[in-house]
Amino acid sequence: MSDLMTQLQGSLMMLGNSNVQVYLLKGTAFTLGISLITILISVFIGALLALARNYCTSGPSRLVRRFSIIYIELFRNTPLMLWVFAGFVLCPAPTFSKAFATALGFTSVASVKTLFKAIVSLTLFTSAVMAEIIRGGLNAVPMGQFEAARSQGFGMARTMGFIVLPQAFRHIVPTMLSQMITTIKDSSYMSGLVTIELMGCTKLLISKANSYNGTWVDRFDRGTIHVTDVFVLFGAAFLIYFIINFSLSCAVRAIKNRKTRPAA
């Protein structure tokens, strides 16, 4: 029993180590950064896909509609992991300059490439989900709005941009925030291939826990990884993810409640 206590003490000591702290913080920052950029781009692509699927119903534009349907259904019905593989194996990445990498706070150009590919693969996947969310919002806009816009001389593009899309987005703010939670969780899929976000960093820390938990003696006795290390490090990761996502889901609930409350 006292054995386990000393092990636990060693594991908890790791959280005080500045190297471990930096890793966890960096991971958290990347998780948030990747998710935020992904969501922003996905909203844009998703809006285009949703508009195409809903309104390109006549003439040759039906081809665009076909494409957007295939895209959405394909990505919604295959696992993200597959697209992470595809992104990292097949996706071409531009060669970033060394100056650009250092400006972002990276030491190597390769990690900028990793970040780029991570965002691309996550965006490919998320924009399909986002398209369906936005379509839900578009369908909630009453037909009368379209007719009213036309009667006022608005063209198709301006009807969408000034009248329909703003209303649609107002409907789906809570759903989009929920998607942010999902995307933060989804970004952990990157840890299967690369170490960049929180989950990957946690995995890396576990594999190196013997050099942080006080059991490392010298290069002939490299110490051991205890089960308490797993609990402490994963516990920290659980806590970070939970705090971020729980506050987001509280925000979702607050917005939903405000909306369902009858207007005063």
Partner 1 sequence: MGTIFDASCWAIVWKYRATFVNGFLNTLLTAAAGLVLALVLGVVIGLCSTGEKKFLRILARIYVEFFQNTPVILQVCFLYYALAYSGVRVSVVTVGIISLGVYTGAYMAEVIRAGITAIPTGQFDAALSQGFDRLQTMRLIILPQTVKIILPPMVNQMANLIKNTSCLFIIGGADLIATTYNFVTGESTGGAYGPAYLVGGLLFFCMCYPLSLMASKWEAHLKQKSVQTNDDKKEVTA
Measured from the CB of residue 84, what is the shortest distance to partner 1 in angstroms?
9
Measured from the CB of residue 76, what is the shortest distance to partner 1 in angstroms?
6
Q: Name the residue with tokens 């996947």.
A: 125
Round to whole Å and give the CA distance between 259 and 262. Answer: 8
Measured from the CB of residue 155, what is the shortest distance to partner 1 in angstroms?
31
- Sequence-distant (6+) residues with CB within 8 A of 40 are none
Is the CB of 189 or the CB of 212 nearer to partner 1?
189
Is the CB of 121 or the CB of 159 nearer to partner 1?
121
SS3 per-residue string spanning the chain? CHHHHHHHHHHHHHHHCHHHHHHHHHHHHHHHHHHHHHHHHHHHHHHHHHHHHHHCCCHHHHHHHHHHHHHHHHHHCCCHHHHHHHHHHHCCCCCCCHHHHHHCCCCCHHHHHHHHHHHHHHHHHHHHHHHHHHHHHHHCCCHHHHHHHHHCCCCHHHHHHHHHHHHHHHHHHHHHHHHHHHHHHHHHHHHHCCCCCHHHHHHHHHHCHHHCCCCCCECCECCCCCHHHHHHHHHHHHHHHHHHHHHHHHHHHHHHHHHHCCCC
Contact (Cβ atoms closer than 8 angstroms) between residue 118 and residue 196: yes
Is the CB of 106 or the CB of 216 nearer to partner 1?
216
Is the CB of 26 or the CB of 185 nearer to partner 1?
185
Is the CB of 80 or the CB of 138 nearer to partner 1?
80
Measured from the CB of residue 214, what is the shortest distance to partner 1 in angstroms?
16
Catalog residues that contact partner 1 under the rule CB under 8 A: 73-74, 76-82, 85-86, 89-90, 181, 184-186, 188-189, 191-192, 199, 202-203, 206, 225-227, 229-231, 234, 237-238, 241-242, 245-246, 249
Measured from the CB of residue 89, what is the shortest distance to partner 1 in angstroms?
6
Residues 83, 85, 90, 94, Cα dihedral to 10°: 90
Is the CB of 123 or the CB of 188 nearer to partner 1?
188
Measured from the CB of residue 202, what is the shortest distance to partner 1 in angstroms?
7
Measured from the CB of residue 152, what is the shortest distance to partner 1 in angstroms?
29
Is the CB of 101 or the CB of 181 nearer to partner 1?
181
